[in-house]
Structure 1
Amino acid sequence: MIPTSFLPNSEDSKAAIPSQADSQTLPFREPLKHLLIGSSKAVTSTIHYLQVIGYADVGDWSQLLPTGNAGEFMSILSRNIVVQ
């Protein structure tokens, strides 16, 4: 079962597909997922650093989830980026 924190919400899905009228004036946006895997301290530290440099807010990331390997956790960030 996939945790709900890894599923995009309906607003994110709609934002990734512009209408034909918009496609002439707006650049195409494509979904991109960032996955951090490491110790809970390393993942949390990286998430906070990415907020400090203005890339992503801490609340944009999923909760820490165990990977199944001892002492290893993961967190994911989904974004829609402009593709040119």
Structure 2
Amino acid sequence: MPDEHVSILQSLGVALLALATVVWSFGLVRLLRRYRSGAALWGADDTLRGLPPQRQGGPHLEAVELTPAERDAFAVLVRRLNDGH
């Protein structure tokens, strides 16, 4: 029997907290069970079906031939940058 100094609202609050704890625990157990069974299925197939297939190698290399004037201009630019430091 509850103590005479405890109000009905306090007793109701404790009961609601206990009920919320039970409901939360039940939901957590269900969630963990579902996650565990999903994890077992996930490990069976390592591919991600929602993603497009990935390339095995990197992108192809691009090269541009410079004219002699462009090479000279680039050399001047490099010298200027080196002199500044």
TM-score (norm 1): 0.19
Comparing both chains, which one has the higher relative contact order based on Cα–Cα distances under 8 Å and sequence gaps of 6 or more?
1
- Larger helix proportion of the pair: 2
Larger Rg over CA atoms? 2
- Larger strand proportion of the pair: 1
